[in-house]
Amino acid sequence: MGFELDWSPRPQQHRREALILRLAPYGVRAAGPADVVRQARLLRCLRPLSVPVPAVRWSGSDPRWFGTPFHVVERVHGRTFGLDEPDGTRGMGDVHVVGREVVRQLAHLHSVDWAFAESVVGAPLDLSTDIVRWDRFVERAGDPELVANAPVLRSLLIAQLPQNPTIGIVHGDYQWSNILVADERVSAILDWELAAAGPVPTDLGWLCLFSDPECWNPPIELAPLPSPRELVDEYELAAGEGVDRIEWYRAHAAYKFGIIAALNLGLHLRGKRHDPFWEQVAPSVPRMIGRGIGLLGG
């Protein structure tokens, strides 16, 4: 929620700021994605390291203010675009310049020593665990036919599991709708609720998913974006080293998002969470799962 605040940080000083308030869901335990105080702690860790994140003004768990944990950050100028905006890049400048900047910022995030924030991000995620934890959600798909080939992709992912991946801070949902751009520069990376320590190529694979026309069917039409190959090349240039097994991480992203989309469609159709956007995404689920299978040679 956005608002403007007039306040005095010190006597005889006056400040007017545009701010964003984020609240934990009412009645939900403040853990995982709902832990907005944890997110604020991570933002405070990252900002001094030149990671483009909004400045945190206040955060806390005291229910006197809003009845639930909260954090307040500065409102950063810029724009994002999502899957439901095929013309979303219009007005953003050269998308290839923007794409290079987006990838450079991702490489910078991954270069940060994750150990300094271990108390916030926790122990590194295990890739095999990150595959099997989705098993219970497959059966809750809004249409089981959408994920009929998910077990095939799951088997390929487990059989070809990367060994000894590079560990760092992983954003967890690094896609165009969570990247604020102004004047062809990244002004802020948003939505850190899924951040963790883990294999850093998972973020790059996720970004490639949302840049790959081979993963999407109408009515979803991707905006004109740098190709996955361009994104990977730029990342390797910025990181100063190659990315091992990027096809696996792209397939991993397709597997996870396919299940997420089918699950959210089910919640929508059962009236538990109204969001017709997932009806638009549903036709793409079989295609992205098939794309993942193809990337792994299946």
Average pLDDT for 157-168: 96
- List Cβ neighbours of 85 (8 Å cut-off, separation of 6 or more): 223
Q: What pLDDT, on a 0 to 100 scale, did the predictor assign at position 93?
A: 80
Confidence of residue 172 (pLDDT cuts 50, 70, 90): very high
Instruction: Report the C-alpha gap between 36 and 181 in whole angstroms.
Output: 23
Confidence of residue 292 (pLDDT cuts 50, 70, 90): very high
In this structure, the number of other CB atoms found within 10 A of the CB of residue 212 comes to: 21
- List Cβ neighbours of 42 (8 Å cut-off, separation of 6 or more): 117, 120, 121, 192, 195
Assess if CATH 3.90.1200.10 describes domain 95-295.
yes
Tokens 């990181």 label which residue?
Answer: 239
Tokens 């994920």 label which residue?
Answer: 147
Asked if 176 and 81 count as a contact pair (C-beta separation under 8 A), the reply is: yes
Mean pLDDT, rounded, of the chain: 92
In this structure, the number of other CB atoms found within 10 A of the CB of residue 258 comes to: 30
Instruction: Report the C-alpha gap between 159 and 122 in whole angstroms.
Output: 27
List where CATH 3.30.200.20 sits in the chain: 2-74
Q: What pLDDT, on a 0 to 100 scale, did the predictor assign at position 84?
A: 77
Percentage of residues in the chain having pLDDT higher than 70: 99
CATH number of 2-74: 3.30.200.20
List where CATH 3.90.1200.10 sits in the chain: 95-295
Confidence of residue 164 (pLDDT cuts 50, 70, 90): very high
Instruction: Report the C-alpha gap between 275 and 84 in whole angstroms.
Output: 13
Residue 29 vs residue 106, higher pLDDT = 106
Q: What pLDDT, on a 0 to 100 scale, did the predictor assign at position 198?
A: 95
